[in-house]
Structure 1
Amino acid sequence: MPRALPRLAALALTGAVLGLAACAAPSPAATPTPTSDAADAPLFATDEEALAAAVEAYEAYLAVSDSITADIDADLARIREVTTPEFADFSEHDFAAFRDAGLRTEGSSAVDSARLAEFSPRRVTFYACQDVSAVKLLNSTNEDVTPSDREARIPLVIDAVAVHGDALLIDGNEVWSGDNFC
């Protein structure tokens, strides 16, 4: 079995569909170099604004990710609309392995219980619970292969970064390794 496949299956089964809400996130990507002095200015005046923008970016990411895993013929590159290029490369590889295994999903995941970890002028890191209780894992014969003992809510650490302008893109996520806060 390809290296990414066990992780993809585990993620889909735990609801962090594909390596995109990862057991093993990609190596930290270099923060993009600002192109002007304005790029050095903080994007958000408050912690609340930073968290709200990061959660909104992650919700957009989940919508695209869910649509890709649900459709065997989906354009994998659509993930580039909501992620940094480095995380998109990682994600596309995982999507392809998931598809090659004959798996797809049905249903949508959601995020809740978000808490800010930290933010800098161009990066926001936050904790959140990804709810996958409405997501089923289906095999190539459309048989439901969702494990009955999977966790319905997964604790994550999520990174969002502003690459161009003030829109945040998802730059990585990983399953929280400490006590389950969900």
Structure 2
Amino acid sequence: MPEASPARPSRRMPHPRATAAVLSCALLLGTAACASPDGDAPRASTTAPSAAATDEPIFASDEEALAAAVEAYEAYSEMSALISAEGGKDPDRIRPYVSKEIAPGYITEFESIAEAEIRSSGEARIFGAKLAEHSPSAVSAYLCRDYSDVRILDSEGNDITSPDRPTLSATLAWFEPADENSKTLILTGSEEWDDNSFCQ
């Protein structure tokens, strides 16, 4: 099981000529889990959560915080899968599910998918959530994602899914309230967690 939560990562804009392989990875994992076209891995940021700190935690218990995080991640994942399945159409639909700081990165990612004329089919299964941190201003959690049923298709419907793509990954995701005093969370960042043994 993971023991520590690193600093929240920043999103990086994909190169306009990103390869189909990187875009395929983005469809499956999100850019935060993929190497960029120039070969660099996403960099971490030590930016503090944008939600104002209060004396009391957002939720009354860790169980409630984890449930809210899972609900927020599933909502984000469902919309991300829908946009990806539609070939990156109307990428602004992701905005209600992510913070304003990372929304532009996701939108650019979906626009790159549309430009490459690829799309996804199927959805990842989210399971095995574990709370990483529950602070007065934010929640973070580890989640497992199974991509066995997700395929990447080209403009003619041909399956171009890489045979080397992962079918299981662990993700560390950060959340904050959508509005002040709200218990509805939105995604503020995520990264692939190297140790996915707790997903087995």
TM-score (norm 2): 0.77
User: What is the SS of the residue equivalent to 2:101?
Assistant: helix
1:22 aligns with 2:40: no
Structure 2: gaps (5+ residues) = 1-14, 35-41
Q: Cα RMSD (Å) of the superposition?
A: 2.3
Deviations 1:83-122 (A, max 9, x none): 1111211111111112211110011122111111111112
Partner Cα separation in structure 1 for residue 110 and residue 56 of structure 2: 35
Sequence identity percentage: 37
CA 131–41 in structure 1, closer or farther in 2 if over 3 Å, else same: same
Normalization by structure 1: what TM-score?
0.84
- Contact map agreement 2:121 2:152 (CA 8 A) in 1: yes
Q: Which has the higher helix share?
A: 1
Paired with 1:177 and 1:53, the residues of 2 have a C-alpha distance of: 24
Compared CA separation, residues 45 and 88, structure 1 to 2 (3 A): same
Change (3 A) 1:29 1:75: farther
Residues 118 and 125 in structure 1, CA contact (< 8 A), matched pair in contact too: yes
Tell me how far apart the structure 2 counterparts of residues 25 and 107 of structure 1 sit (CA, whole Å).
29
Q: Which runs of 5+ in 1 are unaligned?
A: none
Name segments (4+ residues, structure 1) moved above 6 Å. none
Q: What is residue 85 of structure 1 aligned with on the other side?
A: 100
Structure 2 Cα separation of the partners of residues 28 and 3 of structure 1? 29
Q: Give the C-alpha shift of residue 156 in structure 1.
A: 0.7
Residues 154-173 of structure 1, C-alpha deviations (whole Å, 9 max, x = no match): 11111111141221000111
Higher mean C-alpha deviation, range 44-53 or range 23-32? 23-32
Q: Deviations over 1:135-157 (max 9, x none)?
A: 11001111011123322111111
Report the count of equivalent residues: 175
Q: Distance in 2 between matches of 1:171 and 1:73?
A: 21
